[in-house]
A = this chain, B = another copy of it.
Amino acid sequence: MARTAKPGLKDVAAHAGVSIATVSRVINAGPYVTDAVRTKVTASMQALGYEPHALARSLRTGQTHTIGYVIGDISSPLFATIARGIDDTLQSAGFTLFLGNSCGNTQHELHVIKQLLRRRVDGLILALADETDPALRRALADVQTPLVLLDRDVAGLKCDRVLIDHAQGINAAVAHLHALGHTRIALITVAPNIRPGRAISTAFSAALQRHRLPATPGLIAALAPHSPQPTANLAALVQRPDRPTALIAGGATITPAVLRAVHELGVRIPQDLALIAYDDTDVTALHSPPLTVVARDVYAIGAQAARLLLDRLGANAGTGRKTITIPTTLIVRGSTVRKLEEVG
């Protein structure tokens, strides 16, 4: 009984005693099909366990109903939530998600993107590892497939984007720390070759200025992802004669690294150092003390990106790039304010 090859349209047609065109019409809910024929064909499909061949269909129609999502660092705490946002939105539109991990390597990233394009994904959602890479920028410029960038800014590339309003959260963070009396505030954030690194640094400097706080040189550090440096960085910061009394860990991947450094060096939070981290995750929420964080609706990042793509693929395509901005907010917790029992 075991059929070796999966049944095709032809087999169903033969079984039902109709032409393959008719079967195709039934499958695609096409017009001009008698109810009698429809039920007969449906029965045959069931009987044979027919499953449509998506590849053949795509070859014919030019649409794959797939979206590629490429991220530099799949172990980022944000990744899963963004992916869920994308996936949920896509599923409801009948699209399937294709995942690509570039391991932070731009060359590899380029390879993955190329692979996805060969599979003719209908769209691409990208969180590039390095938006400044010339080869990557050249390659992206040629891409005809709709693109959505996640908090990235590729010079000269016209495409939809979902951006994070880092300034909002960083402003609130600096204001909060200033209000608590901190004047020497340090920042450790990601490298400036992706937008978050630049946006956060810029926003931080601007905020200091606005609060008339000194922008002490050396109090801003930019890190490569998964850098082992936080310990060294933090050690250097803590040993300065004008040691900062507060630190902002600017980036979801930066946060665990900084926390490890904090533990290794025995720095007490918030007594020795007030700490504001990025993103409301298990790591920040379950920390002792719970961390004050700059938070954002991570799920929405994915959902909005998917929506942008679906919009562009739809009939209401529209022209011109669209940009969606996700706000950030400050959630105050114990890492910046001592608990009552500790104060008393």
A283 at the interface (CB under 8 A from B): yes
CA distance A259 to B74 in the complex (A): 25
> A240 to chain B: which residues have CB within 8 Å?
none
Closest to A111 in B: B91
The B-contacting residues of A in range 179-193, CB under 8 angstroms, are: none
> A99 to chain B: which residues have CB within 8 Å?
69, 83, 87, 97-99
Contact of A55 among B58, B81, B91 (CB under 8 A): B58
Task: Label chain A's interface by main secondary structure.
Answer: helix
A56 at the interface (CB under 8 A from B): yes
Interface residues on A, range: 35 or more
Closest to A96 in B: B115
> A103 to chain B: which residues have CB within 8 Å?
84, 88
- This chain: how many copies in the complex? 2
* Shortest distance from the beta carbon of A96 to any chain B beta carbon, whole Å: 5
CA distance A91 to B74 in the complex (A): 15
Contact of A64 among B6, B55, B259 (CB under 8 A): B55
> A256 to chain B: which residues have CB within 8 Å?
282, 286
CA distance A260 to B283 in the complex (A): 11
A274 at the interface (CB under 8 A from B): no
CA distance A120 to B52 in the complex (A): 10
Contact of A81 among B52, B75, B98, B142 (CB under 8 A): B75
Residue ranges of A at the interface with B (Cβ–Cβ < 8 Å): 6, 49, 51-56, 58-59, 64, 66, 69, 74-77, 79-81, 83-84, 87-88, 91, 96-101, 103, 108, 112, 114-120, 142, 144, 256, 259-260, 263, 282-283, 285-288
Closest 8 CB pairs of A and B: A99-B99, A288-B288, A54-B118, A256-B282, A75-B80, A54-B119, A282-B283, A259-B286
